[in-house]
């Protein structure tokens, strides 16, 4: 299913609206499923740009309730291993529902 969503263009000072096309799987049938799918697509698009800051998947409710800080660290470390990233060359990461995590001398 193909849909278009009107969104504000990222990084623009003036509010520039643009129609963004999305190709959705047929199993999307609720607003919650639609929003989750749109977030997943946007994270993939962002990561494909090859920027210095990567977006990692989000923690499950169980992971947050169990040990938020520990599981966030494990998630970040696992993503760096999976993507073969050098933590010294990529000193920041974005996690869903959280500000950026940064490390290094400065």
What is the spatial distance between Cα 106 and Cα 93, in angstroms, rounded to a whole number? Answer: 15
pLDDT in tens, 54-77: 567 778 888 889 998 888 888 888
CA gyration radius, the chain: 16
Is the overall model pTM greater than 0.75, yes or no? no
Model pLDDT, residue 14: 67
Beta bridge partners of 8: 17
Residues lower than pLDDT 50 in the chain: none
């Amino acid at each position: 299913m193909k849909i278009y969503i009107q969104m504000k263009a990222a990084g623009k000072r003036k509010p520039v609206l643009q129609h963004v096309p999305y190709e959705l799987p047929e199993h999307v049938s609720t607003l919650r499923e639609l929003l989750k799918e749109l977030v997943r697509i946007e994270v993939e698009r962002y990561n494909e740009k090859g920027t210095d800051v990567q977006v990692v998947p989000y923690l499950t409710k169980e992971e947050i309730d169990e040990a938020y800080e520990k599981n966030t660290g494990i998630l970040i470390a696992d993503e760096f291993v999976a993507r073969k990233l050098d933590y010294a060359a990529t000193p920041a990461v974005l996690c869903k529902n959280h500000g950026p995590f940064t490390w290094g001398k400065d």
